[in-house]
Amino acid sequence: MPRFGQIRTSSPKAPAPFQHITLIGSVIMAVATGIMVYSNGGPERASQSVQPPAAQYYPVNRATPDLRGRTELEPLEIAPAKPVPVKPAVKLQANSGAAMLADLKRDSLETSFWASNTERGHDFYGGRWAAENIKTTDDGLELQVQHEPTPASPFSMAEFRSRKEYGYGRYEAVLQIGKGSGLVSAFFMYTGPYANTPHDEIDIEFLGKDTTKIEFNYWRSGQKGAHAVFDLPFDASEAPHLYAFEWTPDQITWFVDGEPFYSTKPGDTKIPTHAGRMYFSHWTGVPAMAQWHGKPKFASGEATKVSCASFTPLGEDAPSCADTFDPNQIGERLTYAGLIAHP
């Protein structure tokens, strides 16, 4: 035993095999420690504090029932919301009227329209416009075309136009078309020199010689667009149907009984730009027009019926002819070959 204050310089010897095991263990620990230090960037890096992992977000609020309770969902990147581009509102023509609905089974014609009245034919029209040829019935207004014995005007015809002008929006009418060779029935928007504007127009037309077809036309500054003729899935003279067109700054789409039937192509430069009046007419043309509408062999007094007319400005919601017209009431459900056609 050493005395108090003496330093022990050695310890009792261990058996030789145990010494070897201790030495080998020490070497292994030293090597492992060195590898860990230098793999972390050396002594200086190893001494730095470890940063906590970045927060992860998971779309648990959108998990389906099958995913409830699962934790292996992929992290959802949180990114700033991107602003949704807002399409600028269409600026309507300054002279475009407000929404209009005329129930012509009940309302007086003079409330929203004027009847045309002339002494003789003009341009390509083969007779005079006669206000007396517009008859009021329980089914709406009848626009009659009559044979007359006067050389200056062998026919009297019928037309009425809106008191106000209308621009971009949806135009609707319920019509039953007059039948007979030589007759033309039209529902259209028109403006021109009489209003000190270029000739802009959008048409829906029917020829009495074949009332299973419908024609669409449009003009801008007197330049005609892509005229089109389509077969209807019915005879337009046998029952009333709902006809419409939607006019926007870059497109016109025509509808039959609520179904889109025809549309202008994107980029069409013939889309009208000027507001105009809404017209309804039933007429026959000068002899030169017979090549198109047929010889005037129709029965005197043959009529086209107009029971409703409406206009809804673009971007608005207002009562229209479509609210009360039901194509099922005509006794058949119409079918169409496709949703829409282009020129």
203-236 pLDDT, tens digit each: 999 999 999 999 999 999 999 999 999 999 999 9
Task: Give me the mean pLDDT over the 259-264 stretch.
Answer: 94
Q: Which residues, including other chains, have CB under 8 Å from residue 202's CB and lie 6 or more apart?
A: 171, 188, 189, 217, 218, 245, 247, 252, 272
pLDDT exceeds cutoff 70 at 237 = yes
Confidence label for 46 from pLDDT (cuts 50, 70 and 90): very low
Predicted pLDDT at 180: 97
d(CA 172, CA 22) in angstroms, rounded, equals 102
Predicted pLDDT at 326: 83
Q: Which of 128, 169, 156 is nearest to 318 (CA)?
A: 169
Give burial (CB, 10 Å; 0-12/13-18/19+) of 233: middle
Task: Give me the mean pLDDT over the 83-101 stretch.
Answer: 81
DSSP secondary structure letters along 168-214 = SEEEEEEEE---STT-EEEEEEEE-GGGTS--EEEEEEEETTEEEEE
Question: Phi, psi at residue 287, to the nearest 5°?
Answer: -50, -35
Q: Where are the domains of the chain?
A: 17-82, 100-326
d(CA 216, CA 186) in angstroms, rounded, equals 10
Task: Give me the mean pLDDT over the 308-323 stretch.
Answer: 96
Q: What is the dihedral of CA 285, 290, 293, 294, to 10 degrees?
A: 130
Side chain identity at residue 269, one-letter code: T
Confidence label for 249 from pLDDT (cuts 50, 70 and 90): very high
pLDDT exceeds cutoff 80 at 9 = no
Among residues 142, 165, 201, 302, which one is catalytic? 201
Confidence label for 91 from pLDDT (cuts 50, 70 and 90): confident
Predicted pLDDT at 335: 45
Among residues 172, 205, 246, 302, which one is catalytic? 205
Asked whether the CA dihedral 317, 319, 320, 322 is positive or negative, the reply is positive
Task: Give me the mean pLDDT over the 111-118 stretch.
Answer: 93
d(CA 301, CA 306) in angstroms, rounded, equals 15
Predicted pLDDT at 323: 95
pLDDT exceeds cutoff 60 at 21 = no
pLDDT exceeds cutoff 60 at 41 = no
Q: How far is CA 133 from CA 15, 130, 282, 304, 314, in A?
A: 135, 5, 10, 11, 33
Confidence label for 90 from pLDDT (cuts 50, 70 and 90): confident
Confidence label for 150 from pLDDT (cuts 50, 70 and 90): confident
Q: Which residues, including other chains, have CB under 8 Å from residue 48's CB and lie 6 or more apart?
A: none
d(CA 292, CA 78) in angstroms, rounded, equals 66
C-alpha 168: how far from chain center: 13
Q: Is 246 an annotated catalytic residue?
A: no
Confidence label for 120 from pLDDT (cuts 50, 70 and 90): confident
Q: Which residues, including other chains, have CB under 8 Å from residue 100's CB and lie 6 or more apart?
A: 112, 162, 164, 166, 309, 310, 311
Average pLDDT of the chain? 80
Q: Report the relative pairing of strands 200-207 and 241-248 from DSSP bridges.
A: unpaired
d(CA 303, CA 175) in angstroms, rounded, equals 11
Predicted pLDDT at 3: 34
The class of domain 100-326 in CATH terms is mainly beta
pLDDT exceeds cutoff 80 at 54 = no
Predicted pLDDT at 65: 43
Kindly state the tokens that stand for 115.
């009847």
pLDDT exceeds cutoff 50 at 339 = no
d(CA 273, CA 183) in angstroms, rounded, equals 30
Predicted pLDDT at 228: 94
Q: Is 44 an annotated catalytic residue?
A: no
Confidence label for 274 from pLDDT (cuts 50, 70 and 90): very high
pLDDT exceeds cutoff 70 at 77 = no
pLDDT exceeds cutoff 60 at 332 = no
Q: Which of 170, 146, 160 is nearest to 107 (CA)?
A: 160
